[in-house]
Each structure stands twice: as structure tokens, then as C-alpha cells.
Amino acid sequence: MLNAAVEIAFVMIATALALNIYRLLVGPDTTDRILAFDTLGINSIALLVLYGISTNSTAYFEVALLLALLGFVGTIALCKFLLRGDISE
């Protein structure tokens, strides 16, 4: 039962990743592209966690946590640059 749910989740998140890449490339505005980049990171984290569940390995959960931290910092830096034109003050 769990294997079927993980496989369905893989397909759904892969579809979400494809739609995020489309929005990242075609987005009408820079803010839409930043939001698509952040959502792409979240979906990548979800794929790592699902792969960790399917392989019964805990290493992927640690990698997902590091990716979440880097994605958060990157999104904040991009938004700060967009608002002020400079990252550091």
C-alpha cells in the first residue's frame, strides 16, 4: 500500500516540477520566476524525501534539510536584491 502511494506521489511531484520549470522559463515577471524557483526547490525536497522513504535511507532526509535551508536563504537574497538592488547593507 505504501509503495503504491509513493509511486503516485512521484508522478504528481514530477508533474509539478515540469510545471514549475515552465513557469520559471516563461514567467511574465521576475517575481513570478523567483516564486517558481522557490517552489521548484520545495518540490525537489519532496522528491528527495520520497526517495528516502522508498529506499529506507535516512541520508536523503539530511540532504533535503540542507537543500531547504539553502533554498530559503537563496529566496531571501533574491527578494532582497529585487527590492533594494543590493544584497548586503
47 in Cβ contact with 17 (< 8 Å): yes
Query: Which pLDDT score is estimated for 88?
Result: 67
Query: Which pLDDT score is estimated for 73?
Result: 92
Cα distance between residue 45 and residue 39, in whole Å: 10
Cα distance between residue 29 and residue 84, in whole Å: 17
Query: Which pLDDT score is estimated for 79?
Result: 86
Rounded mean pLDDT for each run of 10 residues along the chain, 89 residues in total: 92 95 90 91 94 92 94 89 76
